[in-house]
Amino acid sequence: MDNRQIVLKTRSQGVPSPTDFELITGEAGRPVEGKMLCKTLYISLDPYLRGKISGRHLSGAIQPGELMLSETVSQVIESQHPDFSEGDIVAAFTGWEEYPIVDGALARKVDPSLGPVSTTLGILGMPGLTAYAGLMRLGEPKAGDTVLVSAATGPVGSMVGQIARLQGCRVVGVAGSEVKCTWAVEQAGFDACINYKTQDVREALKQACPDGIDVYFDNVGGDLLQAAMEQLAIGARVVLCGLMAQYNSDDMPPGPNPAWTIKARATVRGMVVYDHEDARGEFEKAVSGWIRDGQIQYLEDSADGIENAPEHFCRLMRGENVGKAMVAL
CB 70 within 8 A of CB 45: yes
Does 127 bind ligand NAP (CB under 6 A)? Our answer is yes
Q: Which of 70, 130, 146, 231 binds ligand NAP (CB under 6 A)?
A: 130
Residue type, 217: F
Nearest to 198 by CA among 173, 177, 222: 177
Does 176 bind ligand NAP (CB under 6 A)? Our answer is yes
Report the Cα 83 to chain-centroid distance in Å: 34
Does 245 bind ligand NAP (CB under 6 A)? Our answer is yes
Does 124 bind ligand NAP (CB under 6 A)? Our answer is no
Residue type, 264: A
The DSSP bridge partners found for residue 309 are none
CB of 154 to ligand NAP, least distance (A): 2
Pick out residues in 10-49 that bind ligand NAP (CB under 6 A): 46-48
Apex 93 CA angle, 88 and 84, nearest 5: 25
Choose the binding region for ligand NAP from 64-72, 151-159, 268-276, 298-306 (rule: CB under 6 A): 151-159
Between CA 23 and CA 6 the distance in angstroms is: 5
Going by the DSSP 8-state scheme, the letter that residue 97 receives in this structure is B
Does 154 bind ligand NAP (CB under 6 A)? Our answer is yes
Does 156 bind ligand NAP (CB under 6 A)? Our answer is yes
Pick out residues in 44-73 that bind ligand NAP (CB under 6 A): 46-48
Q: Which of 35, 81, 180, 237 binds ligand NAP (CB under 6 A)?
A: 180
CB of 99 to ligand NAP, least distance (A): 26
Helix (H, G, I), strand (E, B) or coil at 304: strand
CB of 210 to ligand NAP, least distance (A): 23
Q: Which of 102, 220, 232, 303 binds ligand NAP (CB under 6 A)?
A: 220
Helix (H, G, I), strand (E, B) or coil at 219: coil
The H or E element spanning position 3 is strand 2-8
Choose the binding region for ligand NAP from 23-31, 235-243, 276-284, 303-311 (rule: CB under 6 A): 235-243
CB 263 within 8 A of CB 58: yes
Concatenate the DSSP letters of all residues of 63-130 into one string. Answer: -TTSBPEEEEEEEEEEE-STT--TT-EEEEEEESBSS-EEEGGG-EE--GGGS-GGGGGTTTSHHHHH
Choose the binding region for ligand NAP from 80-88, 92-100, 112-120, 149-157 (rule: CB under 6 A): 149-157
Nearest to 93 by CA among 44, 156, 32: 44
Query: Given the DSSP bridges, would you call strands 21-27 and 89-95 parallel, antiparallel or unpaired?
Result: unpaired
Report the Cα 319 to chain-centroid distance in Å: 36
CB of 264 to ligand NAP, least distance (A): 12
Site string for ligand NAP, 254-293 (x = CB under 6 A): --------x-------------------------------
CB of 130 to ligand NAP, least distance (A): 4
Residue type, 183: W
Choose the binding region for ligand NAP from 19-27, 61-69, 99-107, 172-180 (rule: CB under 6 A): 172-180
Q: What is the CA radius of gyration of the chain?
A: 27
Q: List contacts with ligand NAP (CB under 6 A).
A: 46-48, 127, 130, 151, 153-157, 175-177, 180, 219-220, 241-245, 262
